[in-house]
Amino acid sequence: MFYWISKKGVKQMKPNILQTYVPIILGIAIILCISGCKDFGVPDYELNIQVGTGVEGTPPSGIYSYKELTTINYSYSSLDSDHQVEVVVNGSRWASAGTFTMYTKLEVVVQIIDIRGTWNFVLKSSDTDEEDMEFSITFSGDDLLAGNFTDDRGYIGTWTINGEDLTMTYSNWENYSLTGLITTMKGDWANDDESGTWSAIRI
């Protein structure tokens, strides 16, 4: 504190400018720290999106960075209504629309569904006394919507796609047929009075 003498000869204290403004400055600093440091220590994760040919939607292709637990809505569709879209996230198939939640680095590939290639099939019977059947099927063809298939046991057949619906008909394995969705690669199978469900994973 500084002191000064009034006209009446009374000794009075003169405020120190630092004591006056330091609390104000500290208050402003605290406010700025709270607003600017609220994400301090929260990690950033990378979202790498690659949108393939024939697909439209958001977010577009690019490399993005988001704070942990940030949610990002996404939605994609095919430019050709005969085709369906799949979103592959870190190697797993996701629906064509949904939400990304950032808790790790995400590698996203958006593409037209093409089932051609080899899949591992598991057929479960409605009769619980029957054992599951497991074998691989390879789809081939010149078109995304139809072609031939063969399994690793030597049985063959034809496949067609209409929208999301997949139909597989065996040519030389009794009367087996499989129907399901290409978006999930799951469905039902039938063989005369036998029936059950199936699922498949690309290998």
In residues, how long is the chain? 203
Q: Is 191 exposed, middle or buried (0-12, 13-18, 19+ CB in 10 A)?
A: middle
Query: 62 and 83: one domain?
Result: yes
Given 85, 112, 139, the domain boundary residue is 112
> In terms of pTM, does the model score above 0.85?
no
172 φ/ψ sector (left φ>0, alpha ψ -120 to 50, else beta): alpha
Q: Find out whether 189 and 168 touch, Cβ atoms under 8 Å.
A: no
Cα separation of 115 and 112, whole Å?
10
Q: Which residue range(s) make up the domain with 172?
A: 117-202
Residue that terminates a domain, selected from 82, 112, 142? 112
**pLDDT tens digits for range 180-200:** 999 999 999 999 999 999 999
Total domains in the chain come to 2
pLDDT, one tens digit per residue, over 88-121 is 999 999 999 999 999 999 999 999 999 999 999 9
Specify whether 147 is located in the same domain as 107: no
- Say whether both 125 and 194 belong to one domain: yes
Find the radius of gyration of the CA atoms of the chain. Answer: 32
Among 62, 86, 112, the domain-final residue is 112
Q: What CA–CA distance (Å, rounded) separates 157 from 155?
A: 7
pLDDT digits (tens, 9 = 90+) for 61-75: 999 999 999 999 999
181 domain-assigned: yes
